[in-house]
A = this chain, B = another copy of it.
Amino acid sequence: MTPTPPRPRRSRSAAAAPPTADAPALPAGKATINDIARLSGVSKKTVSRVINNSPLVHPETREKVLALMKQLGYTPDPQARGLAFRRSFLIGLVYDNPTAQYIVNMQYGALDALRDSGYELVVHPCDSTREDYIDGVRRFVLQQKLHGVILIPRVSEDEQLAAALREIGCRYVRVASIPLDAAPNMLVTRDRLASTEAANYLESLGHRTIGLITGPRRYRSAIERGEGFLAGLAARGIELAPDYVYEGGYTFDSGVAGAEFLLAKSPRPTAIFACNDEMAAGVYKAAMRRGLGIPGDLSVVGYDDSPLASQLWPALTTIHSPTRDVGREAARMLLDDHAPALEQPRDVTPHLVVRDSSQRPKG
């Protein structure tokens, strides 16, 4: 489908300032490179050099041009620049179906980095279970000639998508819980370490009988979080029996089911680590239905620090990931020309936030 041409609803309101004898005419509408060139007495090529921070401009010339640009409120037209550069000043954010808060925080972060940069953020949710979703992303990138894209879980874990982007020469940054790509294209959230911290915390409280509700194995984060937790316990001499581990689906209902399963065990766990907050909320429901108090009878730890976490009662102990910082950093990497020199992938480590859903076990 081709979009129909925009239909203006009103005519331009700005009228041209009348030219005077001793000063060159000011531009009527928005100033262009030609106006700047003419009024500052240089060629448009020189103005272009100033725009693009070329060193090949005499400092005085540069100052003069910059002053005029500022005076006229001139900003170069991104469409014209894009046409000439064969590339746009748009960054794409591609994602599958994470939680709303995660998406929004990522957007805020990316926009932090893009502010006043002349770049804008274009969002592209997609359904990675569809065969043709990569085609959809490819068309999006090609059609808009995107400067680059940010990929967040789960699409960030898809090697075929990354390969398709490389093939069309589109730069990208993948946010994932392990390094899946060359350093300049990677931003690692160390979920494994954070989950180990949760394990250490529960062990240090005195918990010995512990349940784990993991995410679905097809998410790399689920594996990292689960393994990190188990490794943390193991390092402190606690081996979790396999039937104290339940594979959930990162959904509320699977959290309920997981807790029903675990709380029926004997001995009953005194603590449950749920690999996201939604499932932790499900644990609350199951525990309360059984008349178990939190944290009196059961300690619960979640992961994500979603808005939910602080609005449950009791407030949920959980792991906070600096998603906005991650989004900011990802966008920076896309804009930064020095990033490709990176040797080690950048990373961030989420950390535990202790609230009211966890305490020493009774007895």
Given the contacts A10-B166, A166-B10, A252-B311, A100 and B104 also touching, CB distance less than 8 Å: yes
Closest chain B residue to A80 by CB distance? Answer: B83
Given the known interface contacts A2-B118, A108-B125, A311-B252, the answer about A143 and B78 at a Cβ–Cβ threshold of 8 Å is yes
A117 at the interface (CB under 8 A from B): yes
**Nearest Cβ distance between residue A290 and chain B, in whole angstroms?**
12
Complex: chain B residue closest to A2, CB-CB: B51
Q: Report chain B residues within 8 Å CB of A81.
A: 5
Interface-side segment among A84-92, A154-162, A231-239 = A84-92
Give per-residue flags for A333-347: 1 if the beta carbon is below 8 A from chain B beta carbons, else 0. Answer: 001010010000000
- Residue contact B111 to A123, C-beta cutoff 8 Å: yes
How many A residues touch B, CB cutoff 8 Å? Answer: 77
Q: Which of B13, B75, B142, B307 contacts A143 (CB 8 A)?
A: B75
Among residues of B, the one whose C-beta sits closest to the C-beta of A280 is: B311
What would 26 A/B residue contacts be, using CB atoms closer than 8 Å? A2-B53, A3-B89, A4-B53, A4-B335, A5-B52, A5-B81, A8-B169, A9-B171, A9-B340, A10-B166, A10-B169, A13-B169, A75-B143, A79-B82, A79-B83, A79-B88, A100-B105, A100-B307, A108-B125, A111-B123, A120-B144, A121-B123, A252-B311, A281-B312, A285-B311, A288-B313
A284 to B311 CA separation, bound complex (whole angstroms): 9
* Cβ of A278 under 8 Å from chain B: yes
Q: Is A205 close to B, CB under 8 A?
A: no
> What residue of chain B has the Cβ atom nearest to residue A93's Cβ?
B123
Once A78-B143, A278-B311 are accepted as A-B contacts, the answer to whether A1 and B117 lie under 8 Å apart by CB is yes
* A103 proximity list for chain B (CB < 8 A): 100, 104
Given A6-B85, A123-B107, A311 contacting B282 (CB threshold 8 A): yes
* A167: Cβ under 8 A from any B Cβ: yes
